[in-house]
Structure 1
């Protein structure tokens, strides 16, 4: 990856994650649907440093110093990592002429992270199987990650409009 591609991937990842967070805010405001408290992500990461990866209930686990900022920074860093891998796979030309379908596919693929990693580690079971309404949790995860995919497309489109790029001269 060139420096320009890295910078664009970082901006794209931050922008896409921001769209996902705006979706979560709108969902909470208009429908009363809560979203993940990213302090719990920070708590989980803090416990990993102490050798504990899995919890019966992350909400009941001991709080960790700085868990909220750590969780939020990691949330955005994960978005940047997903988008960086995406740009590496689809190539720099996507940054010149972004299309929705590949971005939505990224959102669809990225939902594997909460279903297969985060939810089991947080004590929710594989794909939220231990939750009272696992289908509802899965659907919310899917929609949230599709919002991330829409964010990838929107941030990519905005970037293509704003930045003249040497990537696009081919």
Structure 2
């Protein structure tokens, strides 16, 4: 039960930090982030057996796609936190260090590069976007922020959930 609680709280905490980063970019620099309704649309089409799209925005809308996308966004954050906990063991969670959390955050960028972006029609590692290198850097920075969020959440939990 401790594992599940830590994974949920770390995943939610890290995902919230990532979302706050997106809000900062939007307000400070007018840089938009991923529209999670499109993630929901992509996932909704998977139920019908369609896993890739030429352009997800041109695909038919799915009922509840925004809610589906946001729920998936947080569920994935929780799964990534759980994978970090599995990889590092319970000792790390009780006395976290930055390195493993940061490495985990950076490694999670593989998911959008090789699964999400191709599925949405953006190509592998955003290769079909107008500025692929900029998109890649933004993804890497965002997932690095997620890694910091994993560490920060683990630190807070280590203080409030001692062994």
Question: Fold conserved (TM > 0.5)?
Answer: yes
Contact 2:15 2:74 in 1 (8 A): yes
Alignment deviations for residues 18-72 of structure 1 (CA, whole Å, 9 cap, x no partner): 1111111111111111100101110000000011110010111111000000100
CA distance in 1, matches of 2:117, 2:46: 15
TM superposition score normalised by structure 2: 0.98
Whether 1:42 and 2:40 are equivalent positions in the alignment is: yes
1:20 alignment counterpart: 18
2:55 alignment counterpart: 57
CA distance in 1, matches of 2:5, 2:40: 25
Q: Structure 1: which 5+ runs fail to align? A: 166-170
Q: What root-mean-square deviation, in Å, do the aligned CA atoms of Structure 1 and Structure 2 show? A: 0.7
1:71 alignment counterpart: 69
TM superposition score normalised by structure 1: 0.94
1:168 alignment counterpart: none
Q: Structure 2: which 5+ runs fail to align? A: none
Contact 2:41 2:69 in 1 (8 A): yes
1:5 alignment counterpart: 3
Q: Pick the aligned partner of 1:160 from 134, 158, 161.
A: 158
2:135 alignment counterpart: 137
After TM superposition, give the deviation of residue 6 of structure 1 in Å.
1.3
Alignment deviations for residues 91-119 of structure 1 (CA, whole Å, 9 cap, x no partner): 01111111111111001110000001111
